[in-house]
Amino acid sequence: MKRTSFRTGFTGKQRSVHKFATGLLMVGLALSASAKDGSPSGTAPPATGTAPPASGTTPPATSAKSKPSEVKHWFQVGVASWYGTKFQGRKTAGGERFDMNQMTCAHRSLPLGTWLRVTNLKNHRTAYVRVNDRGPVLEDRIVDLSFAAAQVLGLDSIGLGQVRLDPVSSSDPDLALALLAQLQMPVGLLPPGR
């Protein structure tokens, strides 16, 4: 079989950084997708605007007349807060050590390991966070963000803010770009096609 070569426009050093970044991204996405949190797989989030089911409950059965177009996208709107130095290094509900400089959050009922897009409804900033803890304790709040996530959203100085939570697939290209940005990798090192 004849080998066909082509030019990519990368120098040798750039090519190795590109391969490293691509490999790192793939490993990260694979680990994220394969993470188990103890919840049964195959359960879908509930309908729009409703609270997620408590663990151990099953979603209501759909009627025979329901159409696929009637399936609603789950989201949640409410007050977000953040936590930081007081909890730094403590174990989270997921078993890992809390790091206030990572893009994580605490949610009462979403499965651990779920990726969320959090949008600050006041300034429209967006951050991608992974659920790794349970909370918040106060009933009037829907999510506790890490300090790093609060900074990205512009909530670090005011402490509280109105946000929207949307679940994100671990294969979402916008999530991949956000993770690369957190690693401070140049976007030019992304594989072709994005």
Could you give phi then psi for residue 142, rounded to 5 degrees? Answer: -100, -20
With residue 27 as reference, give the H or E element that holds it: helix 12-34
Structure-model confidence comparison of residues 71 and 176, the more confident one:
176
Q: Quote the pLDDT of residue 173.
A: 87
Name the band, by pLDDT with cuts 50, 70 and 90, for residue 88: very high
Right CATH for 75-169 from 3.40.50.1010, 2.40.40.10, 1.10.150.120, 3.30.70.920: 2.40.40.10
pLDDT at 176 over 50: yes
User: Domain locations in the chain?
Assistant: 16-32+171-194, 75-169
With residue 54 as reference, give the H or E element that holds it: none
With residue 16 as reference, give the H or E element that holds it: helix 12-34
> What letter represents residue 22's amino acid?
T
Q: Quote the pLDDT of residue 5.
A: 45
State the average pLDDT over residues 31-60.
43
Which residue, chain included where needed, has tokens 């729009």? 48
Burial degree of 21 (CB within 10 A; 0-12, 13-18, 19+): middle
Shortest CA distance to 94 belongs to which of 81, 76, 106?
A: 106
Dist CA 187 CA 58 (whole Å): 41
pLDDT at 43 over 50: no
State the average pLDDT over residues 132-137.
93
pLDDT at 9 over 90: no
Local structure of 176: helix, strand or coil: helix
With residue 116 as reference, give the H or E element that holds it: strand 115-120
pLDDT at 60 over 60: no
Give the tens place of pLDDT for each residue, 106-124: 999 999 999 999 999 999 9
Q: Quote the pLDDT of residue 137.
A: 86
Q: Quote the pLDDT of residue 174.
A: 85
pLDDT at 6 over 50: no
Shortest CA distance to 151 belongs to which of 84, 87, 97?
A: 84
- Per the omega criterion (within 30 degrees of 0), is the bond before 136 cis? yes
